[in-house]
Structure 1
């Protein structure tokens, strides 16, 4: 059975597994308690960050890499268009933009907003991270004016990647999203697999509930 270590970006992996109907278990990782106390997890990922998976003799980290591995190993799946499909270029672009261009910027914006001393919350690096997020978001906005999902008419793993990033930006980074992005997130998060993933990821569910009350 596939073991997923940690929530956070691990939610992307759980959501994908639910979409694909694959058996898995979630093994919590308490980053706040300190991963140096978690020898089992450090044996999987000595870097101490989440998510990671163990699949038989395979261990792999980084949420997008894990998603690509699972779709290649257990596919084919409509979540990953064939390379000859006209939808493939946009799928590939937004699958990776969801992390490299959006979630990474939102992570640093949110870190400054929630944890930095007040005088440092709008420092040069925090502003640069926000600009990075905003410029990449323009690509999402343009694409949503063309189609309901980022690769076209059908939901793909690129939507898992980007929906997670937009939720992170809104809840953690305090970013106000436009009507098109909010409607898109409602479409993506209205899926049954998303609901099942939320049931599994109790920490994420609690975090979103707390963020909604702020």
Structure 2
């Protein structure tokens, strides 16, 4: 299997998952944006987005979905929560909320504060979507009150996917406005050996 990755992009989610699971894989480190900087990338992922993941005949491009695929395809693993376990619905909800609700507004902040040319940057969009993202973190702040993990009393891919969203916020300076539980939770997640090794491998 291959994971096409850019430094600290959403592909860090499946990279972290692969490291937690100890699965053999090939990592393709690319310069962002790969649609311009990695020859043939649009043949692999016509959207030009990051990540792209291939496993035999399977090609996937959604970071949270790749994590879900890995734990189901290559489990059993405690990183997943099974349908007959308490918290299964919350597990799925957090895994997919992480991108649709928590990462999406940050992509607009990133685009209109850093990626667009100076003349087309939109400070109002940056401010609006920063506040939108931070307001959505209230649900995380509540969920991890007196807890180390989001669901099932153990570390799962829900933690990988949500913690990545919090980590992305550090690159945008949004973590300065995180509440105490989110700050503590992110610090704990970033201390995991697999998180550290995934970040080291993206620099190889």
- Give deviations 1:70-91, integer Å, cap 9, x for gaps: 1121112211101121121221
Cα drift, residue 178 of structure 1: 2.0
Structure-1-length-normalised TM-score: 0.84
Q: Provide the rounded CA distance (Å) in 1 between the counterparts of 2:62 and 2:49.
A: 9
Q: Provide the rounded CA distance (Å) in 2 between the counterparts of 1:102 and 1:74.
A: 27
Specify the alignment match of 2:184 in structure 1. Answer: 183
May I ask how many residue pairs the two structures share in their alignment? 200
Q: 1:188 to 1:121 in 2, by over 3 A?
A: same
Q: Provide the rounded CA distance (Å) in 2 between the counterparts of 1:188 and 1:155.
A: 9
Specify the alignment match of 2:89 in structure 1. Answer: 89
Preserved contact between residue 81 and residue 152 of structure 2 (Cα < 8 Å): no
- Compute the RMSD of aligned alpha carbons: 2.1
Preserved contact between residue 91 and residue 158 of structure 1 (Cα < 8 Å): yes
Preserved contact between residue 107 and residue 173 of structure 1 (Cα < 8 Å): no
Cα drift, residue 30 of structure 1: 2.2
Cα drift, residue 115 of structure 1: 4.1
Consecutive unaligned residues of structure 2, counting only runs of 5 or more, are: none
Cα drift, residue 146 of structure 1: 4.7
Matched, 1:43 2:43: yes
Which residues of 2 match residues 16-31 of structure 1 at below 5 A? 16-31=17-32
Preserved contact between residue 44 and residue 52 of structure 2 (Cα < 8 Å): yes
What secondary structure, in the 3-state scheme, does the structure 2 residue paired with 1:53 have? Answer: strand
Q: 1:37 to 1:121 in 2, by over 3 A?
A: closer
Matched, 1:195 2:196: yes
Preserved contact between residue 30 and residue 37 of structure 2 (Cα < 8 Å): no
Matched, 1:161 2:161: yes
Q: Provide the rounded CA distance (Å) in 1 between the counterparts of 2:150 and 2:174.
A: 23
Q: 1:118 to 1:150 in 2, by over 3 A?
A: farther
Cα drift, residue 173 of structure 1: 4.8
Cα drift, residue 122 of structure 1: 2.5
Deviates further, 52-61 or 110-119: 110-119
Preserved contact between residue 36 and residue 42 of structure 1 (Cα < 8 Å): no
Cα drift, residue 196 of structure 1: 1.5
Preserved contact between residue 109 and residue 129 of structure 1 (Cα < 8 Å): yes
Specify the alignment match of 1:5 in structure 2. Answer: 4
Cα drift, residue 193 of structure 1: 1.2
Specify the alignment match of 2:54 in structure 1. Answer: 54
Specify the alignment match of 1:63 in structure 2. Answer: 63
